Amino acid sequence: EFKGLYFNDSDVYKWVEAVAFSLAIKWSDDLHELARQTISEIISAQDEDGYLNTYFAFEKKKDRWSNLRDMHELYCAGHLIQASIAYYRATGEDELLDAACRFADHITGIFGPGKKSGTPGHPEIEMALVELYRLTGKRKYLELSEFFINNRGRGLIGGSSYHIDHKPFRELEEIVGHAVRSVYLNCGATDIYMETGDKKLLEALLRLWHSMTERKMYVTGGIGSLYSGESFGKDYELPNETAYAETCAAIANVMWNWRMLLATGEARFADVMELALYNGALVGISLDGEEYFYANPLADRGAHRRQRWFRCACCPPNIARLLASMPGYIYSLSSKGVWVHLYAQSRVCLDVNGKTIELIQKTRYPWDGNIKIHVQPEDESLFSLFLRIPGWSRKPEVLINGQRVDQPIRTGEYLEIRRIWKSGDHVQLFFPMLIERIVCHLYVMENHDRVALRRGPLIYCVEQADNPDFDVWSLILPLDSRLEAEWKPNLLNGVVVISGDAFAVDTEDGSSLYQMEKRSFIKMRSVKFTAIPYFAWANREPGPMTVWIRSLMPPQAR
């Protein structure tokens, strides 16, 4: 008898994908053997016609493909395809890929023009089919992905905005619905655009991106503000304590912005990808890797804690595959050369126009903004190095072999350095990491007269464990308070903290919920506070936390 949620197969597939990325980085015989055993069990569950979903085995076989809106058959199939491709690329073993192709062929035999119509209630298969097309060259997979996108807005799965079925995709103006589903759908549409050049798709994707990043995204890169439906709210509806901001949604945000970056070459997408990665997604896992958040609030009284597992276990294996896949996000290639998207201690060998180029990054990023990249071509080679200048950086500097580059450096863009590179060449980047106070749009009512602290790509919060002498919700940060950053090697596995002088409200004064306005009501005392990176909160004893800190006067009055 099937046990658990009807889409549990997908979590096994995400685990296999995470294993594949891990094996690609560092081989493990034990992990490989465990993956092979798991893959054997997956394949053993495949029906003769290629169908593979353990929920719809035996007595439920008659119900296959009868409820695309709710039952996640296509969603699970997408994760199987993605896992099989990753595993094949990492190991060269094709048993799981063959099974995934048989299932994909089964699906193309069921759905399409002149066949069964429909579209998935939970997008995922769209991007998987495009990737399968890229691997196999079989255009029917790309065409089926387009078919599912084109069926949106026809009411085939109920016509609700929750399922993003209320309008044809190319007519969408506002990002709505279940956050993970919505952004996974955008991932698939971006992949289709990259293969077909359909400009109507790109125009819709850009509208949705602006809708999300300018009116519906948390300062952490988290998305999906409402517990109701795990969904996007109205414009500027961004509650802090009740923020849903599901870990899987932040991962989807990383995935979509990665695709938009590849499709356009524009650094603004890399900026959002980095923001969501270091903050909205990374907070989903504890520092010891053993516990997880499903939802990620920006304020808490101490009750919200990570768990070892969830009945709906989508987040743990999703975090696993994201972290294991990280090397693939750092660099990419184009016909002109190498693009550096993320800064991290790393070494990579790349084939650039038929020549092997080794890049070695040395850095402590994100704790400081000093990066040194050693460029080691097998012999002298002409190519471009595209370096992302983060949008948060101020007065960045770039040096080649110790000499400042003689060209404009613009934040939020890529700097192209084209030259004949020789072994021993090196590039140095200096991004001063200033402590910045971020303020909200006026329409975000909950954050009036509040600031959030940012240093480099990291968003900070104040947690009770670091501030035992006052309730962190009572903290008031003067606009002229001097803030300092300090490396704490023994705190939270090593973090840079922000500290400074502030005030704390006497919370014992005025026990009534409401009182007549009078200036003597609020009593404050001077305190010193410490803020930590948001991703590291809730790893110690429970207590209040907040990202948005009250300031003494409206930021607009500076």
Active site members: 230, 314
The answer to whether 305 and 542 have CB atoms below 8 angstroms apart is: yes
Question: Tokens 């890229």 belong to which residue?
Answer: 134
Q: Cβ atoms within 10 A of the Cβ of 379, count? A: 9
Closest CA to 537 of 227, 291, 310, 287: 287
| DSSP-assigned letter for residue 339 | E
- Identify the DSSP state of 227: T
Q: In whole angstroms, what is the distance from residue 18 CA to residue 236 CA? A: 35
* Cβ-based neighbours of 492, under 8 Å, separated by 6 or more: 287, 532, 533, 536, 539
Distance from C-alpha of 282 to C-alpha of 535, rounded to nearest angstrom:
6
Strands (E), 220-345: 299-300, 331-334, 337-340
- Give yes or no for a contact between 485 and 554, defined as CB atoms under 8 angstroms apart: no
Both tokens assigned to 407: 């060209």
* CA-wise closest residue to 45 among 88, 90, 77: 77
Residue 376, both tokens: 């080691």
What gap in Å lies between CA 159 and CA 156, rounded to an integer? 7
Query: With contact defined as beta carbons under 8 Å apart, do 371 and 360 qualify?
Result: no
CA dist 229 and 218 (Å) reads 17
| Residue 208 Cα distances to 149, 174, 184, angstroms | 15, 6, 13
